Amino acid sequence: MCFNISIAKTKVKLEDKFKAQFEKGVNFQPNYFITAFTKPQIPIITGDNQDKIQLFNWGLIPHWVKSEEQARDISSMTFNSRIETAHEKPSFRDSFKKKHCLIIADGFFEWKTKEKNKIPHYIYKENNELFSFAGIWSEWVNQDTGEVNKTCSILTHNANEFMAEIHNTKKRQPVFLKNENSYQWLNNKLDTKNLIQQSSETTLSTHIIAKDFRTLGNNKSVINK
């Protein structure tokens, strides 16, 4: 799965890479470690607004949710969505059909299980460049307050050989988008089979990091190359 990501690049670098601008007034702060369990806002580009980078809450809330309590519960279980079944799951199927997005990152974290130990790895693309995960999004209106909540989920698939060696318990990985097919995904012109194949072929690098890296914030000296 994918519950922990890095977006350490600046606002300007994100805008240059994706040829899109942050919405006015958005206060984006780079962060080496972002965990889904804090329900953070993360930068995405939606299919219906491709020249804007927006901040959406991580943890998808389907439009049909009735109450705030139900929304909290569901969003804690929808950080990821399996691409193989997203088209049929009630929480994901409407978004998977017509609400695609790019979820921006420059790395992510997984733990390799070795005997009784869990060894954290930082995973990234060549030259630590920015990239995008295939994602889906939703808007949910809180009927009590009228507030519109914009949320998203990262798609995952069975791990390729490289990722299965690291994420060696569940053996899943996020769906990576190549630069040339990212906008095909946004425009619903990339089928699931091709998307999984291209994601599986993505070249990645990794190195082990200090076990206490989460307590050290954005200090990249925690990286053990």
| Residues recognised as catalytic | 2, 110
Please state the φ and ψ torsions of residue 78, each to the nearest 5 degrees.
-125, 30
Quick check: 138 and 222 in contact, CB under 8 A? no
Q: Token pair for residue 220?
A: 């990249």
Q: Taken in order 191, 196, 202, 208, is the CA torsion positive or negative? A: positive
C-alpha dist (Å) from residue 74 to 53, 100, 138: 25, 19, 13
Residues composing the chain = 225
* Cα separation, 50 vs 61, whole angstroms: 21
Name the β-bridge partners of 166. Answer: none
* Cα separation, 61 vs 66, whole angstroms: 10
The beta strands (E) that lie in the chain are given as: 4-7, 21-22, 31-35, 41-46, 49-58, 80-82, 100-105, 107-114, 117-124, 131-141, 148-158, 172-174, 176-177, 205-208
